[in-house]
Amino acid sequence: MGRLVIVSNRVTDPAKAAQAGGAAVAIADCLRERQGIWFGWSGQLSTDEDATPAIDVSDDGIVRWTIPLTKYEYENYYLGYANSVLWPVFHNRVDLAQFEAGYYAAYSKVNQRFAASLAAGLAEDDVIWVHDYHFIPLAHELRLLGVQNKIGFFLHIPFPPSQSFLTVPEHLQLARAFSAYDLVGLQATTDVANMIDYLEHGANGQMLPNGTMRVEGREFAIASFAVGIDTNFFKQGDLTDRNDYGATITRIIGVDRLDYTKGLPQKFRAFGRFLQINPDFRSRTVLTQIATPTRESVEAYSDIRKELETLSGSINGSYGDLEWVPIHYINQTTSRERLISVYRNAAVGLVTPLRDGMNLVAKEYVAAQNPRNPGVLILSRFAGAAEQLKAALIINPYNIDEIAGAIAVAVKMGLDERCLRHEALMQEIESGTAATWASGFLSALEHADHPPTFPPTGGKRLISAVSRLAQPARHQDPNSVIESSAPPLVCDVAASHRAFF
Ligand code: GDG
């Protein structure tokens, strides 16, 4: 295998990857494991539209090729198409998508520019691994430039149900773009089912007998590869029992980017409900929520911030007293090392996304626990991690009473049950780490063998695909939050107990 070239929107100092989000954390973990090149945006803005890549080497020995964006590109490609169209739609929040004219053109142009810049530095046997929704068209652009290398794509966020994806005006261009890869990796089996459903019924795709998908005359593989964590990192350090905050306080921890997909208002409300119906836990239970600010210039993000400030103020005002503030709400980034003890000193990890590709925090919380006195993970069924972490208390984040009930079960859970659940969770987490995720994907990419048929055959098939849009989808996504005609999902904590034991 030649050099590994990883492409992602934001290339960062691996030590500061957390600020750029979970995808950067996973990539940095992967690049620490194997030598490679990291190509993408430097995080800087420049007026130079033709900047050549800057090359440097990080303290960990990772070679980085980075280029700046222009202000226009940042506003229309990054904040615009990537984060105000694709992010909300892929998370099933079509109501928040802003389908503005000009966003897609900027997105395409940045992909063309980055492809040209990357192609100039590639060797024949380099393997290219593109990450996330910012760069879906990158392989298509590289193919048009004659690049024949193996190119894989991994989507860190969920793939939505077909009905949601069809709302994107450019969905057919995106379908064609996916087909330019040799392998498309998704987080969970639900995402694979959603993508296949969409491609078959919304983009005239065909599932071939060998299990690959054909779209626009090009064949490619689709599979799920659940992202894992560097478990050894979170297991390190002092394992003494929770004593940081005094034995009298039971701490519940939440660590999330301040994002409307993370179910933060639901989490605050559920904690308030828990205090309301469990007065004996008042004065001795604290929810610590670390909510790292992100994409603050997108309106939906400033809205969620205001909502959380109001909610935490109201709950603290209603239940707090001179000695006790129930919600400890922090809008700052904490160091990765400090996070280990923050997780370890919390009796409950509360993870409530309304939709999430995987959710690394759930895995990090479990890995950081003292196995002799572990805390309890409460996890949304709509996080990709719920496919693996079945020994958590699985909740529906839309059901405030159910989360409040799970908190009550978690804070009262005996040592034997906590140890049993923790052991089962650790088995899952240790069998799928960041390293095994990367090697699993790269090995599948190496074996994906589909003859390149570029340049693509043209627009005819796109037009015939449009005529098929009225056909009903064959499969319904069981996790669909909108457009679902299925009866509401029933999930209660007692059922989760029964399922586990
Ligand atoms: C995307 C997908 C998928 C957060 N605050 C701090 C901090 N973090 C770190 C966490 C964790 C990462 O950021 C967040 O990862 P998540 O997976 O929870 O969420 P996203 O950022 O939305 O990530 C997600 C992921 O990509 C990977 O594929 O799981 O579904 O949305 O590692 O620890 N780290 C530090 N200080 C903080 O304040 N050091």
Phi, psi of 464 (to 5 degrees): -70, -30
10 Cα to the center of ligand 1, angstroms = 14
Ligand 1 site-directed mutation target among 257, 267, 295, 437, most atoms within 8 Å of CB: 257
256 Cα to the center of ligand 1, angstroms = 7
197 Cα to the center of ligand 1, angstroms = 28
DSSP, res 294: -
Per-residue pLDDT of the chain (501 residues; tens, 9 = 90+): 688 999 999 898 766 665 556 777 778 777 777 778 999 999 999 998 888 889 988 877 789 999 999 999 999 999 999 999 999 999 999 999 999 999 999 999 999 999 999 999 999 999 999 999 999 999 999 999 999 999 999 999 999 999 999 999 999 999 999 999 999 999 999 999 999 999 999 999 999 999 999 999 999 999 999 999 999 999 998 777 665 445 578 999 999 999 999 999 999 999 999 999 999 999 999 999 999 887 777 777 788 889 999 999 999 999 999 999 999 999 988 888 899 999 999 999 999 999 999 999 999 999 999 999 999 999 999 999 999 999 999 999 999 999 999 999 999 999 999 999 999 999 999 999 988 999 999 999 999 876 544 444 333 222 222 222 222 233 333 333 222 222 222 234 444 444 444
Residue 331, ligand 1, Cβ within 6 A? no
Q: Are 226 and 437 in contact (CB under 8 A)?
A: yes
37 Cα to the center of ligand 1, angstroms = 22
Nearest to 86 by CA among 100, 72, 73: 100
The Cα 281–Cα 284 span in angstroms is 6
The structural domains of the chain, ordered by start, are 4-228+433-446 (3.40.50.2000), 232-430+478-500 (3.40.50.2000)
The Cα 355–Cα 403 span in angstroms is 16
Ligand 1 site-directed mutation target among 131, 339, 350, 360, most atoms within 8 Å of CB: 360
CA dihedral for 270, 276, 277, 281, sign (positive or negative): positive
Is the pTM for the entire model greater than 0.85? Answer: yes
From the CB of residue 257, how many other CB atoms can be counted at a distance below 10 Å? 21
Residue nearest to atom 19 of ligand 1 (CA): 22
Q: Bridge-partner residues for 291, per DSSP?
A: 256
